[in-house]
C-alpha cells in the first residue's frame, strides 16, 4: 500500500486557539481529501485538493504533491470542531480509491 502518516495523533486546543495538522505520504499522489469524523461517526468532507491551497471559513488546507505532504489549519477553534480528522490520498491511475491515515483526534476545550 501507500502509507499515509498523520501528525499529531492527538491534539487538545482551547476555544479560540489555532493549530495545524499534517499528513505525509510516501509517493507522489494525485490528490488529497480531508475529513472530519464527528461523534456520531459520520465522515464529513472538508476539502479535496489536487494542488495548492483552499480555504473555507476557519479552515485552510494546502497540498504539496512534490514534497509529499498536506496540511489542515484550524483557526479560532470551536467546541464543534472536536472529532477525528482524517486525510486520505488518491494515487495511481484509473483508480479513485482513497488511502487513509490513522487520523488526528482533536479535542477543543472551553
Partner 1 sequence: NAGVIQTPRHKVTGKGQEATLWCEPISGHSAVFWYRQTIVQGLEFLTYFRNQAPIDDSGMPKERFSAQMPNQSHSTLKIQSTQPQDSAVYLCASSWGTGEDTQYFGPGTRLLVL
Residues that bind partner 1 (CB under 8 A): 30-31, 33, 35, 40-43, 45, 48, 50, 86, 88, 90, 94-100, 102-103
CB of 47 or CB of 69, closer to partner 1: 47
Residue 42, sorted as left (phi over 0), alpha (psi -120 to 50) or beta, turns out to be beta
CB of 83 or CB of 103, closer to partner 1: 103
CB of 101 to partner 1, least distance (A): 8
- Tell me the C-alpha distance between 79 and 68, whole Å: 31
- Tell me the C-alpha distance between 30 and 51, whole Å: 9
Amino acid at each position: 500500500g501507500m502509507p499515509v502518516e498523520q501528525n499529531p495523533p492527538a491534539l487538545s486546543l482551547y476555544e479560540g486557539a489555532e493549530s495545524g495538522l499534517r499528513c505525509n505520504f510516501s509517493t507522489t499522489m494525485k490528490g488529497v481529501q480531508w475529513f472530519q469524523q464527528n461523534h456520531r461517526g459520520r465522515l464529513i468532507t472538508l476539502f479535496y485538493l489536487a494542488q495548492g491551497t483552499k480555504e473555507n471559513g476557519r479552515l485552510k488546507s494546502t497540498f504539496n504533491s512534490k514534497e509529499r505532504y498536506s496540511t489542515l489549519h484550524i483557526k479560532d477553534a470551536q467546541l464543534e470542531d472536536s472529532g477525528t480528522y482524517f486525510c486520505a490520498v488518491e494515487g495511481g491511475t484509473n483508480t479513485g480509491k482513497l488511502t487513509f491515515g490513522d487520523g488526528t483526534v482533536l479535542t477543543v476545550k472551553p
